[in-house]
Structure 1
Amino acid sequence: MELKDLISTDPEVLGGQPVFKGTRVPIETLFDHLEAGISLEEFLDDFPTVTKEQAVATLEVANKLLTSQNVAKLYEIAA
């Protein structure tokens, strides 16, 4: 699954905040739930418009972005 198939941004939807494509659920909400110790299954129960495939693929993208190889690039972008 490609990133453009997972995440969308639209100024008309939550002010352009990144959301799971086809939903109004912010990507950040998944990470907030996991950080709070809430399981992926419970997140999916709380937000039934998000598919398990979308959530898992988003976590995989985050994992790839945060590898040691890519973190240096992220530092450059954020600077």
Structure 2
Amino acid sequence: MNWQQHIIEDENILVGKPTIKGTRLSVEFLVGLLAQGWSEAQILENYPRLQKEHLQAMFLYVQDCFRDGLMYKRTNVD
């Protein structure tokens, strides 16, 4: 799967945050739901425009961000 077919970054949508194409749902928001304990089924039920492929694309996007060094553990600066 090519995540670029499902995730876009448009400055006119949520100030350019990566979002699911055709929605105003950001990757950050969806990852946050999963972090809060939501299941994929709950997300798909509550956001009917989403499909399982969108969530798979989101995971691939996050994986690429880690691979490219765009995500890292921040250290506290005192």
Does residue 6 (structure 1) correspond to residue 6 (structure 2)? The answer is yes
The answer as to 2:69 corresponding to 1:74 is: yes
Q: Give aligned-pair identity as a percent.
A: 29
Give the helix-richer structure, 1 or 2.
Answer: 1
The AA in structure 2 aligned to 1:38 is W
Q: How many residue pairs end up in the alignment?
A: 70
Q: Structure 1: 5+ residue runs without aligned partners?
A: none
> Given that residues 14 and 24 in structure 2 are in contact (C-alpha distance below 8 angstroms), is that contact kept between their aligned partners in structure 1?
yes
Residue 65 of structure 1 and its aligned partner are, at CA, apart by: 5.0
Contact 1:25 1:47 in 2 (8 A): no
Unaligned runs of 5+ in 2: 71-78
Shift >2 Å, 4+ stretches: 60-66
Partner of 1:34: 34
C-alpha distance 42-62 of structure 1, shift in aligned 2 (>3 A): same
Going from structure 1 to structure 2, the CA distance change for 1:36 and 1:14 (only over 3 Å counts) comes to same
**Aligned-pair Cα RMSD in Å:** 1.9
Closer/same/farther in 2, CA of residues 26 and 61 from structure 1, 3 Å limit: closer
TM-score, scaled to structure 1 = 0.72
Larger relative contact order (CA 8 Å, sep ≥ 6): 2
Q: Tell me, yes or no, if the aligned pair for 1:7 and 1:21 is still in contact at 8 Å.
A: yes
